[in-house]
Amino acid sequence: MQELRERILADGEVIGSQVLKVDSFLNHQIDPVFVMRMGQEIASRFAGEGVTRILTVEASGIAVAMAVGLALNAPLVFAKKSRASTQNDSVYTADVYSFTRKEAVHITVSARYLGKDDVVLIVDDFLAHGEAMNGLVNIVHQAGAKLAGAGIIIEKRFQGGGDSLRAQGVRIESLAAITSMEPGKICFAE
């Protein structure tokens, strides 16, 4: 998506060789009109797949998932990062290591909102090493649901998570795929 690549080049901040901050429109401040356009683009790539649920993980994925859910007219479910005292029914769980926060988090989805009759589109803002995505794929399998694939805003392809998932047969659609980056320079896959 050309508009996204231009926005990343204009506003993105590369820290070291591994971290890309896009806090001005996606991860801290959110440009809602632009996020809607990106959600519509992801939705168009999975139109006709019969998606019944959008699955994401709190927090940055929620705005994108909201946009995709509106475009596909499907409810979204966000995995919660810790088990709150208000959540005590039957849940699917996975452990996810965050390279950004340098800690493992436990993510949970209530069995009420994901089941074997669902066709699930996973949506997230970033795909890097694939830790969060593997956890979400695992949860879809626990639910016995069908996985339509994953729609991602920015894939840091050089970190390998996307290719590993593609090798497992998961369809991954990224709106921008970064092949390498360093401060002042970001290279995209065509």
Q: Does 141 bind a second copy (CB under 8 A)?
A: no
Tell me whether residue 28 is annotated as binding: no
Long-range contacts of 89-95 (CB under 8 A, 24+ apart): 92/139, 92/142, 92/143, 93/139, 94/134, 94/135, 94/136, 94/138, 94/139, 95/135
Task: Report whether 139 contacts 79 (CB < 8 A).
Answer: yes
Number of neighbouring beta carbons within 10 Å of residue 104: 10
Among 17, 47, 50, 59, binds a second copy (CB under 8 A): 59
Q: Does 181 bind a second copy (CB under 8 A)?
A: no
10 Å CB burial of residue 169 (0-12, 13-18, 19+) is: exposed
Q: Does 110 bind a second copy (CB under 8 A)?
A: yes
Q: Does 85 bind a second copy (CB under 8 A)?
A: yes
Q: Does 10 bind a second copy (CB under 8 A)?
A: no
Nearer to a second copy, 19 or 189 (CB): 19
Among 62, 128, 133, 150, binds a second copy (CB under 8 A): 62
CB of 30 to a second copy, least distance (A): 5
List interacting residues with a second copy (CB under 8 A).
15, 19, 21, 23-25, 28-33, 35-36, 58-59, 62-63, 65-67, 69-70, 73-78, 80-82, 84-87, 100-102, 109-110, 112-113
